[in-house]
Structure 1
Amino acid sequence: MIALPPALVTYFAATNDPTRQSFDTCFAEHAVVQDEAQTHRGLADIKAWHIAANAPVSEVLPLSLRENAGRSVVTAKVSGSFKGSPVTLDFSFALNAGLITELEIN
């Protein structure tokens, strides 16, 4: 297990929890997420994206954490019922005041 900042622990826990109970507590109100060439802005849009994008996902396992240009980059193994599973993706987070303000997934 790798040591992650609290907001990232909450994010990955929510990703692995079908109810997404704690999801709202890790993002800033005006956060921005970029995933699959789409941009999602604000909590409501981000939560809708997260539920839809993770429907076929059964597990996201953080493998490593590195800092790059002021961002926390988590490499994670993503498994589920989607074509090509599992895949390894980079989750690049910007944090402010303990909350996620930006997330880019590649």
Structure 2
Amino acid sequence: MDTIDSSDVRRRIQAVHDTMYVLSGKWKISILASLCFGVKRFSEILRDVDGISGKVLSRELKDMEMNLLIKRTVLNTHPVTIQYEITEYCDMLIPIIHNLSEWGIKHRKKIIER
């Protein structure tokens, strides 16, 4: 077996820690999962993410925009329409979110079948 460089292990653990810091909280992964299905308006995300309040969704979207995970677009309509979408930078998270979803489906089934 190859020897693992301890500095590489620490670097990778720090990277996981950084990722979890950006994605932490009860709602971010669910919001990103909603946006994995395409561009959405605030009300559509609010409907998709069961249990989140409008105030919390607004705060989470601002934080995610600041971290370059989502893009907010204001359309010149009457009334004004605001759309949210995953950024190109965030595209790498889509397979991770898909894998989390698949694991969650299998886990729920396994626990219910016990």
* TM-score, length-scaled by structure 2: 0.27
Q: Which has the larger radius of gyration?
A: 2
Structure 1 or 2: more strand by fraction = 1
More helix by share: 2
